[in-house]
Structure formats: structure tokens, C-alpha cells
Amino acid sequence: MTKAGPGFSTLAIHAGAQPDPTTGARATPIYQTTSFVFNDADHAAALFGLQQFGNIYTRIMNPTQAVLEERIAALEGGTAALAVASGHAAQLLVFHTIMRPGDNFVAARQLYGGSVNQFGQAFQSFDWQVRWADCADPESFAKEIDGRTKAIFIESLANPGGIFVDIAAVAEVARRHGLPLIVDNTMATPYLVRPLEHGADIVVHSLTKFIGGHGNSMGGILVDGGTFDWSRSGKYPLLSKPRPEYGGIVLHQAFGNFAFAVAARVLGLRDFGPAISPMNAFLIQTGVETLPLRMQRHCDNAHAVAKWLAAQEKVSWVRYAGLDGDPNHALQQRYSPKGAGAVFTFGLKDGYEAGKRFVEALEMFSHLANIGDTRSLVIHPASTTHRQLTLEQQVSAGAGPDVVRLSIGIEDVEDIIADLDQALAKV
């Protein structure tokens, strides 16, 4: 039997890592240093001029961070990656590499509430406009595109509604208009979905969630698919025009299929500065080693919980793509046959007040604003993560007033269900 290369679980443990050349340390050390000594003046000049890759200063690059980057790039099937301080920082650097003042991009309106804010409000300071489309209707993206549109953005599995998106169909719209497709793959992780295989060009993650997996470190990453031609249209000058600060080199020419990751590092991270700490890169990397095991358990537990909830008298609806009757079930089977993820929503018949009482009655579940921890988590989005949105935006993002969101952990499923059961009894 021939095999193309190492499997996913092998890459999750080994990709990017070697025993430390100086000490032999097997686990990647935490290189807790701000800066790195140059061999000589020529070496320093070559590093600063991008003629040679190497460590200068931890704001730009660090060996612990580099292992994490190589590992996630391998798991996503990309050419290179750039790890940063948070998922939001990764999104900022992606758009900084692509957009100029006055440009726009088209995003699915079914997004994490924080991304809706970042795109709709914070990005206005840079004069970057977002236009909203419906993730269930690929052609709705096409309708928003004009001469200043620079990219399309979707989540592979939309937070918090647990909706799988037809990535290939949206990629086809992007391709037709000569635009890159950026996919936030936070909720699915590459264990479930690999967007680059379906036509995406750039993948972003909040590493804070399932990839780190233990609720202990913030991080984000962008992965360069190496697929997009940044020079053809002349619309991406950071990549296709000479860079004066680097001796006039054209990044796309010099770095080819990993030019996007290089540009995000040497123009975005260098100047905005949201570097990931070596400690967080280490903790997240350790989390990645068990990603396949954890993700499967998250999915299996979530499926059992969703099925149980759907049979409860006080529950009005459950939206989990893994359930047979769910409108999103066919897309889940096509894009993510191993499971439907661990984050989903349901409604309580008695609405807003019942939702609040239920959340307070839970004992093992933690009531907090995160997903993708080993522990089971719960939140009422309308009063927390999606609070800053209008009622209309909340409803269209799947976070209306009656909605409760669960992120199912990897505890014993009987204990998860017992906690939900006792809380439901108190509603």
C-alpha cells in the first residue's frame, strides 16, 4: 500500500518540531527571549533585508512560534502560516495585507459577533468597508462585488449557529471575480474541514478555541494556501509592488506561493505588533498534539447531547447539523463527515427569561464567553457576545433572545446530560 505522506494525527504531533539542536530537548522549548544575537554584521544586514530568514526580535518571529506555524500549515495543507496574539489579530493582519483605504470585502453575515463588530465598526477607521451576504446563498456574495472589492470572507462552520457553509460554491464565486476566499476555520478545525481543499485561499483561526483546546491561552493564526495570484490584477500592491523598506523587492515575486504569509509578517505584524507570546505558542502547540482525539470526542459528546435535548419537553428547537432532520445535515455530511463540531444552539420554550434561569442553574457547565475548552461551556449570546448587535443582527446571526449556546466538552457524556437535566427541571 502506498501512502501520500504522514497522516493527520502524526502531523499533529511531529510537524515542524525537531529535538532542540543544542540541548536535545524533545518537547519544543519555550524560547522566552525578546531578541537573537547576529553572527556578524553581514548576517544582521541579510536578515533585515529579507535576503535570509532568521530570528531577529520576538515581535516578528520566534522559534517556539515557528514550530506552531509549521504545524498548523501542515494540518491545513497550506504553504506557510503566521501565528499572532489572537484570532482578531490574525483577521486584522489578513485584511491589512489585502485592503487599501476605500476598498471593500464581502462577508457572510453569519459570523462570530466579535467579527461582525471588527468588520462593521473597527475597520471603518481604516476606511475598509464590509458588505454582508448570506452564507446559505453563494450568489448573494456575487451581488455585493464591485471594482473595489478585494476578498470574500466566511466561517466554514458558522458561530454560534453551527451552520456548515458550501465552501466550494462560495470559492467558485470568488474565483469567477478574481478574488481570494478567506475562511475562518476556528469552529471546525482542520480535523473536521480543510477549507484549502475546497477552494479557499487563506485560512484564519482563533487558536484560543479547539486548537489550543484547554481554555488557557489566546492565539490566532493565518494560513497561506499558496493558491492565489496576487500580481495578476494589480489590486494587491503590498504584494505586487516594490517595497522601499526592503530594498525594492516585490514580495510576491521574491516569495512566490508563501508571499502572503511573509507580507503579513514583515509589513503587518512588524508594524501593528500583535505578537503571540512564546509561552502561549508552546501551550497551544501542546494542545494541537491531541487535537484529533479531542475533536472526535467533542463531536461524539455533542451529537449525543443534541439528540437528548431534542427529545426534551421544555426545548422548542435544537440546531445541530449532525442531527438527521437538520436543514444543514447534507452539507455537514459532505464537508465534515467525522462530526458536526461541538458548538450548537437551542431554544427554550419560555424564551429569554427561561434561558437566563437555565444558564444559572447549571452546575458543571461554566457560564462564560468562550468555546472549544475541554470543559462544557454555556452562554446566552443575546445578553453577552452578541449584545452589541441590533435585534435584527442578532437574529440573522442565529443569536436571537431565546437562544442558548453550548460548547460541549470532553467530560463523560452521562455527566453532561445529568447537569442539563437538573437545570432544565429548574426552568
Ligand X SMILES: Cc1ncc(COP(=O)(O)O)c(C=O)c1O
Q: How far apart are CA 355 and CA 358, in angstroms?
A: 5
Residue 157 has φ and ψ, to the nearest 5°, of -130, 110
Residue 129, helix vs strand vs coil: strand
Smallest separation, CB 104 to ligand X (Å): 20
Nearer to ligand X, 238 or 377 (CB): 377
Nearer to ligand X, 95 or 112 (CB): 112
Among 361, 11, 374, residue whose Cα is nearest residue 216 = 374
199 in contact with ligand X (CB under 6 A): no
Q: Give the residue closest to ligand X by C-beta.
A: 87
Contact between 112 and ligand X per CB under 6 A: yes
Residues in 365-424 that interact with ligand X by CB under 6 A = 371
Q: Does 76 bind ligand X (CB under 6 A)?
A: no
Q: Give yes or no for residue 220 binding ligand X (CB under 6 A).
A: yes
**Cα-based distances in Å from 360 to 6, 196, 365, 378, 403:** 46, 40, 10, 10, 15
Q: Is 372 helix (H, G, I), strand (E, B) or coil?
A: coil
Binding test (CB under 6 A) with ligand X, winner from 88, 150, 194, 297: 88
Decide if residue 96 touches ligand X (CB under 6 A). Answer: no
- Residues 65, 111: contact at Cβ < 8 Å? no
Q: How far apart are CA 322 and CA 338, in angstroms?
A: 10
Between 220 and 252, CB nearer to ligand X: 220
- Site membership for ligand X, residue 292 (CB under 6 A): no
∠ CA 307-422-215, nearest 5°, is: 75
- Region of 7-15, 85-93, 254-262, 401-409 interacting with ligand X (CB under 6 A): 85-93
Alpha-carbon span 124 to 119, nearest angstrom:
8
Is 184 a binder of ligand X (CB under 6 A)? yes
CA–CA separation, 141 and 157 (whole Å):
17
Is 186 a binder of ligand X (CB under 6 A)?
yes
**Span between the terminal Cα atoms of the chain, in Å:** 57
Site map (CB under 6 A) of ligand X, residues 130-169, x = contact: -------------------------x---x----------
User: Residues in the site for ligand X, rule: CB under 6 A?
Assistant: 86-88, 112, 114-115, 155, 159, 184, 186-187, 206, 208-209, 218, 220, 371
